Amino acid sequence: MLTILALLQEGEGATETASSASSLITTLLMFAVIGGLFWFLLIRPQRTRAKRQTELISSLEVGDEVHTIGGIIGTIEFMDDESAVLQLEGGGRMRVVRRAIADKYQPPAAG
């Protein structure tokens, strides 16, 4: 009888060990899933935007019409490694950091 009780207690310990291992695997799996979602929803799109912005800045040339992140529209008159001088519509000039150029300007279609 004592042997049967000892075997039953060992069996209960084995199921507790198996359930704790299963719980650990489930927890690690959940962290992996959350990490994957974090990567695809936040990090990957940001890297794509940064790559696109870097390509845009490297493709700029004198004479391109651009708009800045502040909404100012101008034509590139001069560029160096860090900045660009924009010729504004009223005849003025403005020096901006190249990273502040949001995109090449496409005038809206009339109509």
What's residue 88's pLDDT? 94
Sheet holding 93-97, edge to edge: 93-97, 83-87, 73-79, 65-68, 101-104
pLDDT (tens digit per residue) in 32-62: 999 999 999 999 999 999 999 999 999 999 9
Task: State residue 106's pLDDT score.
Answer: 84
Under 8 Å between Cβ of 93 and 85: yes
C-alpha to C-alpha distance for 49 and 43, rounded to whole angstroms: 10
Are the C-beta atoms of 41 and 33 separated by less than 8 Å? no
Task: Assess whether pLDDT exceeds 90 at residue 110.
Answer: no
List, for residues 60-92, the tens digit of each pLDDT value.
Answer: 999 999 999 999 999 999 999 899 999 999 889
Q: Which amino acid is at 9?
A: Q
pLDDT in tens, 18-29: 677 788 889 999
DSSP summary character for residue 89: T
Whole-model pTM over 0.75: no
